[in-house]
A and B are shown apart, each in its own frame.
Chain A
Amino acid sequence: MSESISSARESRCPAVHSPKLRPSPATGDGLHIPHTPDLGSIEAPRRNEKEPRTRRICTAHEECQGHVRSMLGRGVKRKWSSLEGAEAEQLPDATATEDKRPDTALEDSEEEDRGDRWSRTDTSHLQQRQLVLSLCLEKLQHYQAGVELSLRRSVLLINTLRQIQEEMRSDGTDVRLSGVSPDTRLLRDDFREDESVTCPGCTEGDAEGPSPPPSPEPTNTAPTDLQKPPPNAVGHTFSDAGSAMGYLSDLALDDIFEDIDTSMYETSELPSAWAASSLWPVSVSFWPDDDMKPRSSAGSLQSCLLDLNELDHIMEILVKS
């Protein structure tokens, strides 16, 4: 067995995966900062830290009755409950499926009814799509300082987002009018707020981030150290402040700044790139490329200062444009 392994990639600890190529500068889509959309008439419950993690599933029927047997906690009255109720009623007799045919794949003829329900023009489908979209963005935006995000969860959320995106595009729905705010506006707002980030002393106050601030209160397992910004505070707090940018780590931050620089010098495409109606440039910003160690060896303080300088520079450029 050892012979065949000898030519395998061998890693000595600390892990020595050779740094991969940096992601190419964003093209077209560029950066995107997802932002909780202006939901308009759609009421999506916002989860804050204090609410129970899980919510009860209500049907319209039960809500009307006002009788809530809350084993989960308080149910939240939502307009979507009627949607769920509609779905539940249309679900064919699932008990029969369970009991009689426990070992067959889902090939019941009853399922064919669903085909109609998913026709694109179906209002409930569009409503659900909008709901899922807003939830998706909300979940992606919500992140707790000091706790590493689950990559699996992030990937699944992004893929769902992409799927909705695709569907909206093929629908011919203008993404900008869909209720999700376009990128430029978001970016501007976020970056303006981030001006204060350039001042290290202000970093603590910035921890809350732009609206809505799902103020990432550290979980009870987080040590109190996290309350004080650690040495690479600027980068980290920037990602807090621009929490709409998602899960930026210091390392990914470098790449993003790099992207900005390049495109600024090459073309004046930057604003349009970010405002691309082609949507959610779901870019590298969503998960840090943890393997990359561009500056980590240089010492966190150095990288902090470098970040600071870059930030200054970029702020100038953005404010001017």
Chain B
Amino acid sequence: MQWCFSQVKGAIDDDVAEADIISTVEFNHTGELLATGDKGGRVVIFQQEVENKNLPQFRSEYNVYSTFQSHEPEFDYLKSLEIEEKINKIRWLPQKNAAQFLLSTNDKTIKLWKISERDKRPEGYNLKEEDGRYRDPNTITALRVPILIPMDLMVEASPRRVFSNAHTYHINSVSVNSDNETYLSADDLRINLWNLEITDRSFNIVDIKPANMEELTEVITAAEFHPLQCNTFVYSSSKGTIRLCDMRVSALCDKHSKLFEEPENPSNRSFFSEIISSISDVKFSHNGRYMMTRDYLSVKIWDLNMENRPVETYQVHEYLRSKLCSLYENDCIFDKFECCWNGNDSVVMTGSYNNFFRMFERGQRRDATLEASRENSKPLQVLKPRKVCTGGKRKKDEISVDSLDFNKKILHTAWHPQDNIIAVATTNNLYIFQDKVN
């Protein structure tokens, strides 16, 4: 599989404004829309142009469709703490009518946004004067029905629901249920279940807060609903475990139905073992049979029917294992990488450092390291596979581990649900790549 550069969005200059740092990327269910959230609380939605779809060598481009400020910074006066406006997650709802809906969340508040188009406006009212004042009804002698005339497309985003005050700790995940009526939100210690229509009430379905906070040793890091079974969800922990819960068993899902955990390889034990085992993302496959987890060094694919070990493990950047102490010192070891599946669950993708991202073709047992950079951004330029040299002689075109830029991390990636189009977020730029079509 070969990938070509398609587009890049965002400022070119190296001086990154903190508000522009991309914090989440998500395609909608058809892939027509691509949403990004940033640290400044804004959401930018790109739309795929459909005109050129027929041209085989030229896939449609994504252009800005809507931009809006989703969250504002807030101040918690009680604790004298600032609540960041950074968008942690965006999740699209399946489309039910002409409008699009998405959930966006910061650390404390989830909002349901409606994005609707307006491309016509009514004209021909005879009730008002030119300046907008209402005419004297006595002067109106005829009934005139206004007609709709086309206007420039206007995309409006309006907040339809605000779900707040249900999380004491920082929200890390939201996931829409397949029933399209409910969704879950997860913070470090609790998971709440919401009805999309009801904002003043949520049900707590998981609570791992110990009675004595001194005993706290594990937090929730990610949660997701099963794509097909509306009663099933999973949540991952900082200790590298994943719990699958069935909401039919009991209303409170503190007791898991399944516990997925791989026994640790004793020869790999180090001071950092627990930190690198912390799962930063969990994603079900589209067919609902597997789930993928991302920890610091690897991506693991689990069969939902087998709890004691993953069925596949892919090393993302094993060369970092000997650098863990330095990565601990500069805090990179706490970076949370996400991962994603392609449309038919045959390939998985995740990010790394130096603006590298990795792809693993499951069936072929092939993997590739690609780079998102301005240097490789000529239109339809094929991406050259990159290679990291770990020791010994460095070959030409290889990059040595010590030359990697740990400031340039790709934490967020997304794959189009049907086509081979991927969105890769560097610090403040969004790259769109598509597979090479001959």
Measured CB to CB, the residues of A under 8 A from B are: 1, 4-15, 17, 20-21, 23-24, 45, 52-59, 62, 69, 71-72, 80, 83-84, 87-91, 93-95, 97-98, 102-107, 111-112, 114-115, 118, 128-129, 131-132, 135, 139, 146-148, 150-153, 155-156, 158-160, 163-164, 220-223, 225-226, 230, 232, 236, 249-250, 282-284, 287-291, 296, 300
Contact A152 B81, beta carbon cutoff 8 Å: no
Chain A residues whose C-beta falls within 8 Å of the C-beta of B138 in the assembled complex: none
Chain B residues whose C-beta falls within 8 Å of the C-beta of A111 in the assembled complex: 265, 267-268
Chain B residues whose C-beta falls within 8 Å of the C-beta of A97 in the assembled complex: 315, 318
One of A102, A129, A230, A287 near B80 (C-beta < 8 A): A230
Known contacts A7-B251, A8-B205, A95-B389, A160 near B265 by CB under 8 Å: no
Contact B214 A23, beta carbon cutoff 8 Å: yes
List 18 contacting pairs A-B, 8 Å CB cutoff, sorted by A. A4-B247, A4-B248, A7-B251, A8-B205, A11-B203, A12-B200, A21-B212, A54-B330, A57-B326, A91-B390, A95-B389, A105-B313, A131-B325, A132-B272, A147-B81, A151-B188, A155-B218, A155-B238
One of A8, A91, A147, A284 near B251 (C-beta < 8 A): A8
Chain A residues whose C-beta falls within 8 Å of the C-beta of B51 in the assembled complex: none
One of A84, A104, A148, A287 near B323 (C-beta < 8 A): A84
Chain B residues whose C-beta falls within 8 Å of the C-beta of A102 in the assembled complex: 314-315, 360, 365-367
B423 contacts A by Cβ under 8 Å: no
Q: CA A289 – CA B213 in complex, angstroms?
A: 7
Q: How far is the CB of B357 from chain A (nearest CB, A)?
A: 15
The proximity string for B residues 312-335 relative to A, scoring 1 for CB distances below 8 Å and 0 otherwise, is 111100110111011111111010
Nearest neighbor of A289 in chain B, beta-carbon distance: B213
Q: CA A226 – CA B394 in complex, angstroms?
A: 51
Chain B residues whose C-beta falls within 8 Å of the C-beta of A56 in the assembled complex: 402, 406
Q: A91-B391, A148-B83, A156-B274 are in contact. List 7 more A-B contacts (CB 8 A).
A: A12-B200, A57-B404, A94-B318, A95-B390, A148-B107, A155-B216, A288-B79
Q: CA A52 – CA B329 in complex, angstroms?
A: 12
Interface residues in B, total, Cβ within 8 A:
99
Contact A87 B322, beta carbon cutoff 8 Å: yes
Known contacts A11-B203, A230-B77, A284-B212, A152 near B278 by CB under 8 Å: yes
Known contacts A13-B201, A287-B216, A89 near B391 by CB under 8 Å: yes
The residues in B between 338 and 383 inclusive whose CB is less than 8 angstroms from any CB of A are: 360, 362, 365-367
Contact B389 A88, beta carbon cutoff 8 Å: no
Q: CA A282 – CA B107 in complex, angstroms?
A: 26
Chain B residues whose C-beta falls within 8 Å of the C-beta of A90 in the assembled complex: 322
Contact B252 A9, beta carbon cutoff 8 Å: yes
One of B81, B168, B189, B252 near A15 (C-beta < 8 A): B168
